[in-house]
Chain A
Amino acid sequence: MKMKQNRINFLIDGAMFLAFLIATAPRLSGLAIHEWLSLSLAAAIITHLLLHWTWIISIGKRLFTKTTWRSRLNYLLNALLFVSFTVTIATGILISREALPLLGLTMARDRTLEFLHHQASDVTVLLLGLHVAIHWSWIVGMLRRIIPVRRVSRSVAISRQMEGANQ
Chain B
Amino acid sequence: MKLIGRILIILGVTWLIVMGLNWLRMQNMLPINPDTARSERFVDGEHREGFMRPGRGFGEFRERGERHFEKPSLDGVGDVLGTLTRNRRGYRPYPALYEPACASVRIAGES
Using CB atoms and an 8 Å cutoff, list the residues of chain A in contact with chain B: 21-22, 24-33, 46, 49-50, 53, 82-83, 86-87, 90, 95, 97, 110-112, 114-116, 118, 125
Let me know if B77 is at the binding interface, CB within 8 A.
yes
Given A95-B61, A111-B37: A26 and B18 within 8 A (CB)? no
Is A22 in contact with B42, judged by CB distance below 8 angstroms? no
Is B69 in contact with A50, judged by CB distance below 8 angstroms? no
Interface bin, chain B:
35 or more
Let me know if B99 is at the binding interface, CB within 8 A.
no
Is B58 in contact with A112, judged by CB distance below 8 angstroms? no
- Dominant secondary structure of chain B at its interface with chain A: helix
CA distance A39 to B60 in the complex (A): 19
6 smallest CB-CB distances across A and B, nearest first, come from A27-B76, A25-B79, A28-B76, A30-B72, A27-B69, A24-B83
Let me know if B106 is at the binding interface, CB within 8 A.
no
Let me know if B3 is at the binding interface, CB within 8 A.
yes
